[in-house]
Amino acid sequence: MSIEKNQVVIVDYKLQNGSKEGDLIEETFGSKPLSFIFGIGQMIPAFEANLEDKTEGDEFGFLIEAAHAYGLHEPQAVVDIPLQQFAVDGKVDAASVIPGRQLSVKDPQGRTYHGVVQKSDDKQVTVDFNHPMAGTDLYFSGVVRTVRDATASELDHGHAHE
């Protein structure tokens, strides 16, 4: 059976930065494989495009350029926020705004954005709201373990069941 829309696909993969020789980012071999329903928007579209029509046992290796993965790094997504925006009862917890700290911020419309603190001082906090892998070309290699039709329940719930 070849991979197509509304099928559960299970793959083991290795993800490397930029090329087959790039630094290892993530690997499922020897741990829990990736399981998803193909064609319903759970995965990067370019990832699915490279797997389409593959069958159980097929090996794969492909590069997804940053623009087609998590996007390019956008300088305008790095913003300065007044330190007082992080105050609770008038006081800012210094540990909450240290560089490298992940945080969530709501805009005036109630939408939540996730970012990483880049730097802070006594007046402002610089937060990068780019995806952590923005600007990164992704090289995937691996093997298709299973391809099967998704059940009605899986399609209803929007994810593969174990």
Supply the pLDDT for residue 11. 98
- The partner residues of 140 in beta bridges, in order of sequence, read 15, 62
Give CA angle at 21 (147, 8), nearest 5°: 10
- The partner residues of 92 in beta bridges, in order of sequence, read 87
Q: Side chain identity at 139, as an amino acid letter?
A: Y
pLDDT digits (tens, 9 = 90+) for 39-89: 999 999 999 999 999 999 999 999 999 999 999 999 999 999 999 988 888
Supply the pLDDT for residue 116. 96
Considering the chain, what percentage of its residues have pLDDT values greater than 70?
100
pTM of the complete model:
0.84
Supply the pLDDT for residue 96. 87
pLDDT digits (tens, 9 = 90+) for 11-51: 999 999 999 999 999 999 999 999 999 999 999 999 999 99
**Structural domains of the chain, with CATH:** 7-70+133-157 (3.10.50.40), 75-128 (2.40.10.330)
pLDDT at 90 over 90: no
DSSP structural state of residue 156: H
Neighbouring residues of 38: CB distance < 8 A, sequence distance ≥ 6:
3, 4, 5, 6, 7, 8, 9, 48, 51, 52
Measured distance CA(156)–CA(20) in Å, rounded? 37
